[in-house]
Chains A and B, each alone.
Chain A
Amino acid sequence: MSDLIIKGHLGIGPKASGEALVATDNFSARYDLDRIKGIFSRPAHKLFEQGYVGKVLVLNIAKGGVATAWMLHEMASRGMAPAALLLNFANPIIAQGAAFGQVPLIDRFDSDITTMIKTGDQVEVNPATGDVIVTQS
């Protein structure tokens, strides 16, 4: 077992850690999630029916509408948010939502983040430096 440090752009939000949940799919809180049950609810999503609460979500691109900006705050208020979001490319909505809800977010890594972390890996996220530390499972 060895630790891997991955460098991204400076992020938003506090430090966090958790178990990774990874897919090459994209992400929108409105389109993809059942936020009451805390699972992915869009049938076409690779993480369909999987629970995301407390997980470090590792996905490709932020897609879709603007609702995620409020929804991260709303999910966090009920303790139903992911521990952190790691994306290849965030969009403004995810960044604004992370700033408003103080949900940790980092994007723009040296290479494709969805291939560098596996589901089940233990991950530490430090948005202030853009560092992600992976304890590989």
Chain B
Amino acid sequence: MNLNDTEKAMLAGAMGEARQRAIIQQIQVGDFFDAVDFVPVAQAHIMADTESLGEAGVCFLEDLANEAEVDNQVCIPTITDPRGADFNTYKQINHDPAYVALEKRADQAFRALGVLMTDTCINYQTVIPPVRGEHLAMGDTGVVIYSNSVFGARTNYEGGPSALAAALTGRTPRYGFHLDENRLGTRLFQVKEQPKDWSQWGALGGFIGREMGSYYEVPVIEGIDVTPSSDDLKHFGAAMASFGSTALFHMVGITPEAPTIEAVFEGTPPAPHVISAKDMDAFFATYAMDDDALDVVVFAAPQLSLYELERLAKLLKGQTIHSDVALLIATNPENKRAAERMGLDDMISGSGAILMEGVCFYQMHARELGEANDWTRLMTNSAKLVNIISGYGYEPVLSDMERCVHSAIAGRIVR
């Protein structure tokens, strides 16, 4: 890689050992992807829940936190993805205190580095929205795909250690979606059935993600004749990124780099893959069960917006969750405070549902939580969550928000 004087100084150790280690790691990745040089980034977003970090990762962060402040402080605004434990509600869900203690250590280490603990995967809805053309180092697949696609910003998937390296160096190797040539469409999908709710937007995204090959494939979607909301596109993108390894999509007439189909293809567009109502039914059927047993209902992945919380609050107001079922909701600290101020939290909590902050269900030792609470059958409106959670020993059911809530109240899956 070509390095400028600042980068050469970092590599030589003139700006401290932490930045030297960070840039060495970044150069290895840059060489792997044939990056020619670095690009400065405006923000970094770090995924570092303790389930992923483990003891080894937390010790790594603590060692970094113990280095001299001149060496270890992040040099661009740096925020965090959902954490592995909610310090307020962990007892209610029998979360192992050992994991909570580990989470506290990670939290303190990050604060010592100058990281802003936003604990969110919906920073684009609640912290600072990206700007078209802005180069970023975003560390959550849902955040990456939304930033690239809906805002036209430029970021690759930056895993925790990599986003932290970018936070320390203020740059990232220029490869992948930082480059114009990788932002054109490679596949075309034609939607015949308009998604009607968040679970259907997620299912559509999941269907397309499942069809994707390598990270460099960019799906283009035509045939959407409604204007999706931010939450619609949030579920759509998060599921696509989860089922695939997809970091950018274009939606013709809706996303900024795709005013027309011609704008996102070089030459003649490929023949479209038509997605029918039957395809969507088949997708939902993958996550349906023959019986109506139910243990836990989860609204998460991504964290809920204020509007999603409002809809849930209205559905739960005056209701009581069945004693055999748990209903868990994950949002970020900003929306939790807002929900408290606006009376939504009372409507939600009054039903027996648990509103967690700064976490996401699959990032908080979901396997151990399942064992501690005897949870196997899980119902959710998140297509992203059903994709992830079977690996943790759950039997996931995908349905819309209303049916999920009605099922939690009935204590069994309501069809």
A→B interface (CB under 8 Å): 9-12, 26, 30-34, 41-44, 61-71, 73-74, 76-78, 88-93, 95-97, 99-100, 105
Minimum CB–CB distance from A9 to chain B (whole Å) comes to: 7
Q: Which of A42, A63, A70 contacts B161 (CB 8 A)?
A: A70
B residues less than 8 Å from A99 (CB atoms): 25, 28-29, 32, 161-162
B residues less than 8 Å from A68 (CB atoms): 159
Q: Is the CB of A63 within 8 A of B245?
A: yes
Which of B90-98, B257-265, B333-341, B386-394 lies at the interface with chain A? B386-394
Q: Which of B52, B56, B175, B244 contacts A78 (CB 8 A)?
A: B56
Q: Is the CB of A92 within 8 A of B28?
A: no
Per-residue A-contact encoding for B160-181, CB less than 8 Å = 1, 0 else:
1110000000000001100000
- Decide if B69 is an interface residue (CB 8 Å cutoff): no
The number of inter-chain residue pairs (CB within 8 angstroms) is 143
Q: Is the CB of A77 within 8 A of B388?
A: no
Using A74-B52, A92-B215, A95-B33 as known contacts, say yes or no to A31 and B159 having CB atoms under 8 A apart: no
Give the residue name and chain of the B residue nearest to A127 (CB).
B32
Q: Show 5 residue pairs from A and B whose CB-CB distance is below 8 angstroms, ordered by the A residue.
A: A65-B141, A70-B54, A74-B52, A76-B56, A92-B33
Give the residue name and chain of the A residue nearest to B49 (CB).
A67
Q: Which of A34, A74, A76, A92 contacts B29 (CB 8 A)?
A: A92
Using A12-B32, A92-B157 as known contacts, say yes or no to A69 and B162 having CB atoms under 8 A apart: yes
B residues less than 8 Å from A74 (CB atoms): 52-57
Using A69-B160, A74-B52, A77-B54 as known contacts, say yes or no to A64 and B29 having CB atoms under 8 A apart: no
Which B residues between 94 and 113 are near A, CB-CB below 8 angstroms? none
- Decide if B307 is an interface residue (CB 8 Å cutoff): no
Q: Is the CB of B56 within 8 A of A95?
A: no
Q: Can you add 20 more A-B contacts, CB < 8 Å, to A66-B141, A88-B214, A99-B29? A: A11-B32, A12-B28, A12-B32, A30-B388, A33-B391, A41-B392, A67-B49, A67-B159, A70-B52, A70-B160, A73-B60, A74-B57, A77-B54, A78-B54, A78-B56, A91-B215, A92-B176, A95-B28, A99-B28, A100-B162
- The 9 tightest CB contacts between A and B, nearest first, are A69-B159, A77-B56, A74-B54, A96-B162, A100-B161, A89-B214, A91-B215, A42-B391, A70-B52
- Decide if B156 is an interface residue (CB 8 Å cutoff): yes
- Decide if B139 is an interface residue (CB 8 Å cutoff): yes
A residues less than 8 Å from B60 (CB atoms): 73
Minimum CB–CB distance from B98 to chain A (whole Å) comes to: 14
Which B residues between 184 and 226 are near A, CB-CB below 8 angstroms? 213-216
Give the residue name and chain of the A residue nearest to B175 (CB).
A92
A residues less than 8 Å from B25 (CB atoms): 96, 99-100
- Decide if B408 is an interface residue (CB 8 Å cutoff): no
Minimum CB–CB distance from B44 to chain A (whole Å) comes to: 13
Q: Is the CB of A31 within 8 A of B52?
A: no
A residues less than 8 Å from B53 (CB atoms): 70, 74
Q: Is the CB of A66 within 8 A of B29?
A: no
A residues less than 8 Å from B244 (CB atoms): 63
Q: Which of B139, B159, B214, B243 contacts A61 (CB 8 A)?
A: B214
Q: Is the CB of A73 within 8 A of B242?
A: no
Give the complex CA separation of A65 and B175 in angstroms: 19
Per-residue A-contact encoding for B126-147, CB less than 8 Å = 1, 0 else:
0000000000000111000000
B residues less than 8 Å from A66 (CB atoms): 47, 139-141, 157-160
Q: Is the CB of B161 within 8 A of A30?
A: no
A residues less than 8 Å from B242 (CB atoms): 64-65
Most chain B CB atoms below 10 A, which of A31, A33, A92? A92
Give the complex CA separation of A100 and B26 in angstroms: 9
Give the residue name and chain of the B residue nearest to A89 (CB).
B214
B residues less than 8 Å from A71 (CB atoms): 52, 54
Q: Is the CB of A31 within 8 A of B387?
A: yes
Give the complex CA separation of A27 and B176 in angstroms: 20
- Decide if B31 is an interface residue (CB 8 Å cutoff): yes
B residues less than 8 Å from A100 (CB atoms): 25, 159, 161-162
Give the residue name and chain of the B residue nearest to A87 (CB).
B214
Give the complex CA separation of A33 and B390 in angstroms: 11
Give the complex CA separation of A91 and B157 in angstroms: 8
Q: Is the CB of B29 within 8 A of A61?
A: no
Q: Which of B31, B140, B213 contacts A10 (CB 8 A)?
A: B31
Minimum CB–CB distance from B159 to chain A (whole Å) comes to: 2
Minimum CB–CB distance from A123 to chain B (whole Å) comes to: 20
- Decide if B48 is an interface residue (CB 8 Å cutoff): yes
Minimum CB–CB distance from B208 to chain A (whole Å) comes to: 13
Per-residue A-contact encoding for B389-401, CB less than 8 Å = 1, 0 else:
0111100000000
Minimum CB–CB distance from B412 to chain A (whole Å) comes to: 23
Give the complex CA separation of A105 and B214 in angstroms: 16
Minimum CB–CB distance from A119 to chain B (whole Å) comes to: 21
Which B residues between 52 and 80 are near A, CB-CB below 8 angstroms? 52-57, 60
Give the complex CA separation of A91 and B175 in angstroms: 12
